[in-house]
Amino acid sequence: MAASEKPQITVCESDYDRLTTLAEAAEHSRPEIAEFLLGEMNRAVVVADEALPAQVVRMHAEARIRTETGAERTLHLVYPAEANVSEHRISILSPIGAALIGLQEGQSIEWTGANGGTHRLSVLTVRPPA
């Protein structure tokens, strides 16, 4: 998907700073996902933490999504050390995690999975972190 076709995303300053640093640190160990996450951060609108709308996916938010197959599931977006797939805690350094950051309710995005296939997800609801 061309960058011009991607939905507008918004991230808060604290997520932007930490995720940019995390992606830069992963450039040698996980170059594809690091490049994708850095690209997402570079195209994001960055706002003050308190100005981020509640319906935007941020770190530690819970997002109810629908995949291209119509399946719905709830995911928690977390940092790599907190990830646990069986608990639906998805790392920001995974293709789906990097695709989710900054999306808001009602938006959809195409992303490339670890297997190289193209996938699509739509954000149904977002619950901000507690």
Query: What CA–CA distance (Å, rounded) separates 61 from 26?
Result: 22
User: What percent of the chain is predicted at pLDDT more than 70?
Assistant: 97
- pLDDT the model gives residue 130: 83
Mean pLDDT, residues 11-33: 96
Residues 6+ apart with CB under 8 A from 29: none
- pLDDT the model gives residue 3: 43
Over 80: is that where the pLDDT of 1 sits?
no
pTM for this model (two decimals): 0.91
Each residue's pLDDT tens digit, 28-56 = 999 999 999 999 999 999 999 999 999 99
Each residue's pLDDT tens digit, 52-84 = 999 999 999 999 999 999 999 999 999 999 999
Measured in degrees and rounded to the nearest 5, phi and psi for residue 30 equal -140, 65
Query: What CA–CA distance (Å, rounded) separates 73 from 84?
Result: 15
